[in-house]
Chains A and B, each alone.
Chain A
């Protein structure tokens, strides 16, 4: 990042980025611990995730506050403007990822009240892919890598495919479940959360592409799916 003549401007941008990266690290940790709470039947860990969410919420407020202050004070343009806008949007996505992690932790806590279910492991591949999407999304932002940011969409499609497949299996189990129908329902919602985390990661990747190359690729894949002959750029 080039230095500005006005050092306070650099300080403000540095604070914004530091808070955003802290937020990303906490959101990833919350997701990781929420899924460990499920996969290892660890209710204490689930409680830890639920308690930690307020830190992410606070950071989201802080990123927005700093972003607003930078907009008001320094009137950023070009890459600076995109950096501020993209960072604020990314923080919203990270907060929602953390919310999903909390949702998973709460459902894990409920499932853990009964006998351990071996079938929770069915969610592991979905989780691995969702986690990789979050990691790659933040890597694309920190490494200024729009190619990686754009590539997330393909990975998300794979996540959607896995989710559909797993959703069918879980629904089948729910239909035949006896006393543990609640647990199967929780697993369906956890799978849904993991799929949404993939979507939110794609959003972060799209913001990185916007930040690095000033291209707005949101909804592009949907447009292309509808229109096989898009107009020349």
Chain B
């Protein structure tokens, strides 16, 4: 049933291997020895109170933290599909192509719907119109947006509703066919119906991508994540199948958090 989520055997090697990862913002440690394997082609949710390090950890996966002065990995490693992504010779543009990201606040460019979707393809030098059209349609279809925008592809993206704009951002993130999709509270600014549409979309997208989502909304984690990681004070407290985390958490801190006793 339902439980195709929690009982899935993991036939693929982990998409992301995190080994004793420590991270600090200047002198302030934010992550303390996080070790975790994130399963491929599944949705993993990071939950935990504000400041627990879940977004910091997420942003380590495409090294977007590199942009913050003084922010650095102080120990441990992250391997994506077997490659240490903190090696100095890593091509960051290629890393970010393979590890796409969707942010809390939908942020389409002030361009047409079409130009938003093909933006990264143009950046990577693709000029052929038929290829751009084909990729744009495929990405919009995958983002469950095609039927709603196919007749106004060249209208401004800013005219779309919030939920549509966020799905457009998802289309923009997946058009370059990443392996991994990072989502940092992607529904925080959306109404409940738009939220459910995004969640349903995650369910479809996990057939193609490994998805990691940070959410404050525990109900969202239960609805759409196969696995859930609970973090607290920069440490990974518990990681397991979502139903186990919410039905029979092993750690008393997880129990307290999911039952609303603290946080």
| Chain A interface (Cβ < 8 Å from any Cβ of B) | 4-9, 11-12, 15-16, 65-66, 68-70, 72-75
Contacts and interface: CB of A to CB of B under 8 A. Distances in A.
Contact of B223 (A15, A66, A74): A74
Interface in B173-227: 193, 196-197, 199-200, 203, 219, 222-223
A66 B199 contact: no
Given A73-B222, A73-B223, A6 B2 contact: no
Contacts of A4: 196
B243 interface: yes
Interface residues of B, number: 18
B187 to A, nearest CB: 12
B203 A7 contact: yes
What's the dominant secondary structure at chain A's contact region? helix
Contacts, number: 51
22 contacts: A5-B196, A6-B203, A6-B223, A7-B200, A8-B2, A8-B5, A9-B223, A11-B1, A12-B1, A12-B2, A16-B1, A66-B3, A69-B1, A69-B2, A72-B247, A73-B5, A73-B242, A73-B246, A74-B222, A74-B223, A75-B219, A75-B222
Contact of A5 (B200, B219, B222, B246): B200
A202 B154 CA distance: 62
Contacts of B222: 72-75
B199 A70 contact: no
B15 to A, nearest CB: 21
A74 B242 CA distance: 12
B3 A65 contact: yes
Contacts of A66: 1-3
Given A6-B223, A66-B1, A72 B200 contact: no
Interface string B21-64: 00000000000000000000000000000000000000000000
Nearest to A70: B2
Nearest to B6: A69
Contacts of A70: 2
Contacts of B242: 73
A90 to B, nearest CB: 18
